[in-house]
Amino acid sequence: MNLIIFGPPGAGKGTQALKISDKYGVVHISTGDILRSALKNGTELGLKAKEYMDKGELVPDDLVIGIIKDRIKEQDCRNGFLLDGFPRTLPQADALDSMLSAEGMEIASVVSVEVEDSEIVSRILKRQQEEGRSDDTEQVVQNRLQVYRNQTEPLRGYYEDKGKLSEVDGIGSVEEVFSRIVEAIG
Ligand code: AMP
């Protein structure tokens, strides 16, 4: 089963993604994690991505599409995968559809974790204190939210039209939100 977890930065996608991949036995693929690790290892991809990530901007579509194209062909994705942080733009969603149909695969379900802006900013600033992510400063957070609303949120309509979107309330304990997600995936 191939899944997408979708939602604003700080909605708790990463935490839920680990629990989902565990329960359903699917590989967790986070483009943010892949880019951060590329950055840490000083690869060309990391260097290219850094200037965008530091400002809370999206990395160009062709870079992330290339990452996902290579990743989903790997053996461990055969039993299914969970995409976290991808797609984030309509061109990315279109590219995903084409690459999946070329491989005879499809997305079973898209779970959208819903959280209000005011709650998000306080959650992310807390995460900054705990994890020290360099793109978690208030100004960058506000920019990431703006980018999310402008460029990523339209994807809800995209997947709704395909009958694949499930909206889940992201407020509550990790376990509460997780049980809503499990119900939504069915
Ligand atoms: P995340 O950990 O998913 O919040 O991603 C951290 C940062 O990585 C984002 O603010 C973007 O700069 C970049 N990034 C991650 N995934 C994507 C994507 N699908 N498209 C463009 N940029 C991305």
Confidence at 123, pLDDT banded by 50, 70, 90? confident
**159 Cα–ligand 1 center, Å:** 19
Which numbered atom of ligand 1 lies nearest the CA of 88? 19
Amino acid 156 reads: R
For residue 141, pLDDT over 90 is answered with no
Which numbered atom of ligand 1 lies nearest the CA of 52? 12
The DSSP element (H or E) to which 127 belongs, if any, is helix 117-131
**13 Cα–ligand 1 center, Å:** 13
Q: What is the mean pLDDT of residues 4-15?
A: 92
Q: Whose CA is nearest to atom 19 of ligand 1?
A: 86
For residue 134, pLDDT over 80 is answered with no
Confidence at 124, pLDDT banded by 50, 70, 90? confident
For residue 6, pLDDT over 90 is answered with yes
Taking only the tens place, the pLDDT of each residue in 49-83 is 999 999 989 999 999 999 999 999 999 999 999 99
Position 162 scores a pLDDT of: 96
Q: pTM here?
A: 0.93
Strand order in the sheet with 3-6: 27-30, 81-84, 3-6, 109-114, 165-169
With contact defined as beta carbons under 8 Å apart, do 156 and 176 qualify?
A: no
Q: Which of 49, 42, 40, 15 lies closest to 30, judged by CA?
A: 15
Taking only the tens place, the pLDDT of each residue in 14-56 is 999 999 999 999 999 999 999 999 999 999 999 999 999 999 8
Task: Write out residues with Cβ below 6 Å of ligand 1.
Answer: 9, 31-32, 35, 52-53, 56-59, 64, 85-86, 88, 92, 135, 144
Catalytic residue set: 13, 88, 127, 133, 144
Indicate the top mutation candidate among 39, 48, 52, 59 to test ligand 1's pocket, ranked by most ligand atoms within 8 A of CB: 59
Q: Which domains does the chain carry?
A: 2-166 (3.40.50.300)
Position 117 scores a pLDDT of: 84
Position 137 scores a pLDDT of: 81
Q: Whose CA is nearest to atom 5 of ligand 1?
A: 32
Number of C-beta neighbours around residue 53 at 10 A: 20
Q: Which of 44, 61, 24, 34 lies closest to 181, judged by CA?
A: 24
Percent of the chain with pLDDT strictly greater than 70: 100
Confidence at 131, pLDDT banded by 50, 70, 90? confident
* 103-112, 120-129, 169-178: least confident range: 120-129
C-alpha span between 169 and 19 (Å, rounded)? 16
C-alpha span between 84 and 79 (Å, rounded)? 17
**105 Cα–ligand 1 center, Å:** 24
Which numbered atom of ligand 1 lies nearest the CA of 33? 2
With contact defined as beta carbons under 8 Å apart, do 56 and 143 qualify?
A: yes
With contact defined as beta carbons under 8 Å apart, do 111 and 32 qualify?
A: no
* Angle separating helix axes 138-147 and 44-55, nearest 10 degrees: 100
